Each structure stands twice: as C-alpha cells, then as structure tokens.
C-alpha cells in the first residue's frame, strides 16, 4: 500500500474557497463519497478566529455554487459541528476513477487542503498525480509505502497509537514548546548539550519554571506511552 500526504488546492471546492475569504478552518470527522450521485457527504468541525468569522464562514459556505446542503449540528462560541453535502470535485473524481482511496481525515485552512490518499501500486499513483496536475495545484508532502505485515501491525495497534496521540495533544502550548526546544537542543542527550539555566534564558523564565514545564510534559507523554504499551501487550497475549 502507498500512502500520500498531499497539500492540495482545488479550484472547485467550497471549503477551500471559503477559507480563502474568511478566517475559518475545517476538519473532517466523517465522510462518505456517493460515486453514483457524484456527491460527498461530510461531518466537519468548523472553527473561526472569532464568533463573527465562524458565522461569516458558514454563510459563505451555504451560498457556494458547489454546496448542495449545509446545516449546523451543534455550535459553541467560535466552533461548530456541521453536516454538508457537496458536488464531487475534480480531484475526488480523479482519485476515485484511478482506484485511489482516502485513508484519513482532511483539514482545510487558508485556501489549502491536507489530503491523505492511498494506492495499491505505483502505476495507479503515477496516473492519478498526472491527472490531478491538470486541474489542481498540489504538492506531495510525504510518501510512505507499507508491506502487508507492516500495514497489519499498524491496524492492529491503532488504539495504542491513538492513546499516544491523545497524550501529545494533552500538552499545553507552553509544555509542548518547552519539551520541543529542550529536545532539539540536546537536553535529553548523554551528556546533555544544554542545561536548565540555558533553557530558562531562552524562554526568559526561572530555572524552576522550566523544570516544572518539562516535568509536566514528560509525565503526560510517559503516561500515554505506558498506556499504549499496555494495549500492545494485551494484543500480544491474545
């Protein structure tokens, strides 16, 4: 299996057009492509920079010529869960007709869309990308090729992977930034390539504050990693 991460700009997508004009972003939660009706049904999270931007973005989305249906499922402050039905875009049709498939949720922001697309072989991939280039602007950001055993292992341990991902997401912005800077500057190397004093100087805070931020981030990630390992061990026992 070949898996691509594609940074895409479609010229007939209502979500991309809306994020071009309004400070709003969309993340897909569920989606279903009806190839017979040539329509895509989705459930998305819409997040505006403000409540006003959210309302303006939803109004723009509803009036887009390629939008068939758009309704609000829930809304709070500047975030809403919405359901939509749109006309099949050129990119969707191209991927479907060349035996490609969507392998993960897509995100749309600032006029660009992040797609995760899979193919069974190189020929289908090459054919699809050549056709996409005619009517869309895209860049392949990442490409992975999995064998059968690797793919099975990924699927078998998907719950453990989600546990680890949720642990990373639980970090606050300060904790994440402190942890990343410490790691990038060799704090966890042996011997250490940076110190708490140097990190404190980088962030303009006390050494104690840096230490506390690191400990909190380490604790959250370690807890998530141990939970993920327990899930893997349970599968091994089965």
Same-domain status, 26 and 135: yes
pLDDT score, position 179: 93
Same-domain status, 57 and 139: yes
Q: Is 151 among the domain residues?
A: no
Same-domain status, 167 and 61: no
Question: Is the CB of residue 22 less than 8 Å from the CB of residue 46?
Answer: no
Question: Is the CB of residue 38 less than 8 Å from the CB of residue 88?
Answer: yes
Final residue of a structural domain among 94, 120, 146 = 146
Mean of pLDDT values over 155-172: 76
In the predicted structure, residue 12 carries a pLDDT above the cut 70: yes
Nearest to 19 by CA among 136, 116, 112, 135: 112
Final residue of a structural domain among 104, 125, 146 = 146
Q: How far apart are CA 61 and CA 13, in angstroms?
A: 10
Q: How far apart are CA 24 and CA 49, in angstroms?
A: 6
Q: Is 59 among the domain residues?
A: yes
Same-domain status, 212 and 193: yes
Q: Is 152 among the domain residues?
A: no
End-to-end CA distance of the chain: 26
Same-domain status, 101 and 34: yes
Q: Is 56 among the domain residues?
A: yes
Task: Give the alpha-carbon dihedral of 75, 80, 81, 87, to 10 degrees.
Answer: 130
pLDDT tens digits for 13-61?
A: 999 999 999 999 999 888 887 878 888 899 999 999 999 999 999 999 9
Same-domain status, 113 and 201: no
In the predicted structure, residue 208 carries a pLDDT above the cut 90: yes
Flag the least confident range among 58-67, 114-123, 186-195.
Answer: 114-123
Same-domain status, 141 and 165: no
In the predicted structure, residue 150 carries a pLDDT above the cut 60: no
Q: What is the pTM of this model?
A: 0.62
Same-domain status, 84 and 195: no
Number of domains comprising the chain: 2
Average confidence score pLDDT of the chain = 88
Same-domain status, 175 and 114: no
Q: Is 170 among the domain residues?
A: yes
Same-domain status, 134 and 18: yes
pLDDT score, position 123: 92
Same-domain status, 54 and 164: no
Mean of pLDDT values over 94-111: 88
Same-domain status, 9 and 64: yes
pLDDT score, position 213: 94
pLDDT score, position 194: 95
How far out from the chain centre does Cα 126 lie? 24
Final residue of a structural domain among 146, 179, 197 = 146
- The domain of 119 spans 2-146
Q: Omega of the bond prior to 191 within 30 degrees of 0, cis?
A: yes
């Amino acid at each position: 299996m070949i898996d691509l991460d594609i940074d895409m700009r479609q010229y007939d997508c209502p979500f991309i057009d809306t994020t071009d004009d309004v400070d709003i972003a969309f993340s897909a939660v569920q989606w279903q492509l009806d190839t017979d009706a040539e329509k895509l049904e989705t459930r998305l999270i819409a997040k505006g920079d403000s409540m006003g931007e959210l309302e303006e973005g939803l109004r723009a989305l509803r009036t887009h010529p390629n939008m068939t249906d758009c309704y609000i499922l829930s809304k709070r402050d500047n975030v809403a869960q919405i359901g939509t039905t749109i006309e099949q875009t050129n990119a969707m049709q191209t991927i479907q007709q060349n035996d490609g498939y969507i392998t993960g949720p897509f995100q749309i922001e600032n006029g660009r869309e992040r797609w995760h697309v899979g193919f069974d072989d190189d020929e289908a991939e090459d054919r699809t990308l050549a056709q996409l280039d005619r009517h869309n602007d895209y860049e392949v950001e990442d490409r992975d090729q999995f064998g059968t055993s690797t793919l099975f292992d990924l699927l078998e341990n998907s719950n453990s992977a989600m546990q680890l991902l949720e642990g990373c997401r639980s970090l606050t912005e300060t904790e994440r930034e402190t942890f990343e800077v410490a790691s990038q500057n060799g704090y966890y190397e042996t011997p250490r390539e940076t110190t708490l004093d140097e990190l404190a100087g980088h962030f303009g805070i006390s050494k104690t504050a840096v230490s506390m931020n690191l400990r909190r981030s380490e604790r959250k990630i370690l807890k998530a990693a141990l939970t993920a390992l327990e899930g893997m061990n349970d599968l091994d026992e089965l």
